[in-house]
Chains A and B, each alone.
Chain A
Amino acid sequence: MLEGAHGNAVRKSMEILVALGEIYGAKRLIPVKSVQISGVSYDNLGDAGLEFLAEMAKDGKVRVKTTLNPAGMDTENWRALGIDPAFARKQDLVLKAFEKMGVDLTCTCTPYFIGNRPGKDQHVAWGESSAVTFANSVLGAKTNKEGGPSTIASALTGRTPEYGLHLDENRQAHFIVKVSAVIDSQMLFGALGHAIGKRADGKIPLIRGIKSATEDQLKSLSASIVTYGGAPMFHVDGITTNQTAVPDQEFEITQKDIDDSIKYMNDGSEPDFIFIGCPHCSLDEIKTIAEILDGKSVRRELWIGVARPIKKAADELGYSGKIEASGAKFACDTCHVVAPLAGRFSCIATDSAKGIFYGRGKNKFRTVFRDMRSCLEMAVK
């Protein structure tokens, strides 16, 4: 493959993987079960990224199941979300290049809800930090946090260099976090992720003191902990699936730490934009949103981020009708992190700690951090 017998895209892919393997001391390339490609929004790629994709699509075809990160717009409903037609044309070219490579064009940061769900100990090559963290920690799959080009390289070759989190010795906890605060909502799991992440220095925690956690709450923790500085992996005692040796170092997360994290994430008061679904909503979350919005009218811009297949299921189950009747908008395939939104709104409210970080950094929004119900109540007030 490295010699070019399988074409130019495969040769370039192998060069990328071999170089990464050499830098990190990998002994070999290993097969991967699936790939999640990051770097899909035209807002992040620009014309050069698009050109690279077009080049790779000339003779590159995916060898394993491959899904895409969110794009810069809802691919069907972009007009209703106020996306510029010039942007939409470019985004469409990005997706066409992926289509030519044979990629599944569902754009989501929660591929594990739509059939790209690796099992325990399966090796994958995923981009999208929240999905990587969820795959490693909750599913027990094994992946490093890949960048856009290396995910494409793995998709076109079906391989990844064996280093980092592919090796059990690198998946052990480095420190214990004793949680004495009560953590029982997605928002609070997000706040916990911030409180741990900022102290983690890229290392893996063993979290103790959590009595129960839903998959949606672990999704929220996965997104937050890696956004704010943790490794793309964690252990929760009694809840997550991986085994780890018990480290010596320990610190405590108290109610005050959680309160401080919540305070840190609030610097606005009057949101003109409300986003739920970072990472993209599960069907359970859509059901809850439908119950809360049923019979109400939305008075501020409210987007619900979701993978299209989940939205389709919600259509069938009657959830979507209730949500859309309220005036809320589904944002399939996209989210406020990757859509071109800078300048369109001034203050975002969300229940996502990760969403707060990118709302500030990329879009320069002020931020309001509340649980889902409060966010939705703000939207209808």
Chain B
Amino acid sequence: MKGRKICGGIARGKALVSTEGISFFGGVDPESGVVVEKNHPLEGRSICGSVLVFPKGKGSTVGSYTIYRLKKNGKAPAAIINSECETIIAVGAIISEIPCVDLIDISKIRTGDDILVNANTGDVLRSDEL
């Protein structure tokens, strides 16, 4: 699949897919990397080291700083894939230097898929496509 580069870089990891948007401020614990938003599909899961796949960001613009905090704590995702990136995630990915690609049909990715993200070119590849 080919999408649009939001923040460059190359990363590989296991996909963690959310069908709902993610609010990083208040929704993800910046110390542990665990999703804490009540009734969220990923509640209780750690996003650390994953290729984190979700439709788009939501909530407070302070969320950009939460992403940065996750990175500094070693709890950030390896890469982020969105259907449609908005400012909170875009700015968070850029200041944290996390590869980020959007305009991807995320329904084609399953949690646990081995994913290679080349955000420089916008390419998102499953390991069975490599």
Interface 0/1 of A27-65, CB less than 8 Å to B: 000000000001100001111110110000000000000
B20 at the interface (CB under 8 A from A): no
Task: Give the contact-size bracket for chain B.
Answer: 20 to 34
The answer, yes or no, to whether B16 is at the interface (CB within 8 Å) is no
Q: Which of chain A's residues have a CB closer than 8 A to the CB of B90? A: 16, 19-20, 23
Q: Is A147 an interface residue (CB 8 A)?
A: yes
* In the complex, B61 has a CB within 8 A of chain A: yes
Whether B40 is near chain A, meaning CB under 8 Å from some CB there, is no
Known contacts A19-B6, A23-B86; is A147 also within 8 Å of B61 by CB? Answer: yes
Asked if B11 is at the interface (CB within 8 A of a chain A CB), the reply is no
**Residues in A whose Cβ lies below 8 Å from that of B52:** none
In the complex the two chains form, what is the Cα distance from A15 to B73 in whole Å? 23
A150 beta carbon closer than 8 Å to chain B? yes
A349 to chain B minimum Cβ distance, whole angstroms, is 26
Binding site for B on A (CB under 8 A): 12, 15-16, 19-20, 22-23, 38-39, 44-49, 51-52, 127, 147-150
Count contacts between A and B, CB distance < 8 Å: 73
Known contacts A22-B4, A23-B85; decide if A16 and B65 are in contact (CB<8 Å).
Answer: no
Q: A15-B94, A19-B7, A23-B90 are in contact. List 19 more A-B contacts (CB 8 A).
A: A16-B94, A19-B6, A19-B91, A23-B85, A23-B102, A39-B65, A46-B30, A48-B70, A48-B72, A48-B73, A51-B72, A52-B65, A52-B68, A52-B95, A127-B61, A147-B62, A147-B88, A148-B61, A148-B65
**Residues of B at under 8 Å CB distance from A?**
4, 6-7, 30, 61-62, 64-66, 68-73, 85-88, 90-91, 94-95, 102
Report the nearest A residue to B84, measured CB to CB: A23
A147 touches B6 (CB 8 A): no
By the criterion CB–CB under 8 Å, are B62 and A149 in contact? no
Report the Cα distance A38→B61, complex, angstroms: 10
Whether B94 pairs with A12 at a CB distance below 8 angstroms is: yes
Q: Separation in Å of the A142 CB from the closest CB of chain B?
A: 18
Contact assessment for A147 and B91 in the assembled complex, using a CB-CB cutoff below 8 Å? yes
* Contact status B6-A149, CB under 8 Å: no
5 A-B pairs in the complex with CB atoms less than 8 angstroms apart:
A45-B62, A46-B66, A46-B69, A52-B65, A147-B88
User: Which of A23, A39, A47, A51 has the most CB atoms of chain B within a 10 A radius of its CB?
Assistant: A23
Docked pose: A148 CA to B95 CA in angstroms: 11
How far, in whole Å, are A44 and B25 apart by their CA atoms in the complex? 9
A150 near B69 with CB under 8 A, answer no
Output the least CB separation between A82 and chain B (Å). 24
The complex places the Cα of A148 from the Cα of B65 at a distance, in Å, of 9
Contact B65 A149 (CB under 8 A): yes
Complex CA distance for A47 and B68, rounded to whole angstroms: 10
CB closest chain-B residue, reference A153? B91
CB-CB under 8 A from A23, the residues of chain B are: 6, 85-87, 90, 102
Asked if residues B30 and A48 are in contact (CB atoms below 8 Å), the reply is yes
Known: A48-B68, A51-B72. A149 touches B30 (CB 8 A): no
Expressed in whole angstroms, the Cα–Cα distance for A230 and B64 within the complex equals 22
Contact, CB under 8 Å: B95 / A12: yes
Across the interface, which residues of B come within 8 angstroms of A39, CB to CB?
61-62, 65
Residues B91 and A149 in contact, CB atoms below 8 Å apart: yes
Tell whether, in the assembled complex, residue A150 and residue B91 are in contact, meaning their CB atoms are under 8 Å apart.
yes
Cβ contact of B62, chosen from A12, A19, A44, A150, cutoff 8 A: A44
Known contacts A23-B85, A147-B61, A148-B62: does B69 contact A48 (CB below 8 Å)?
A: yes
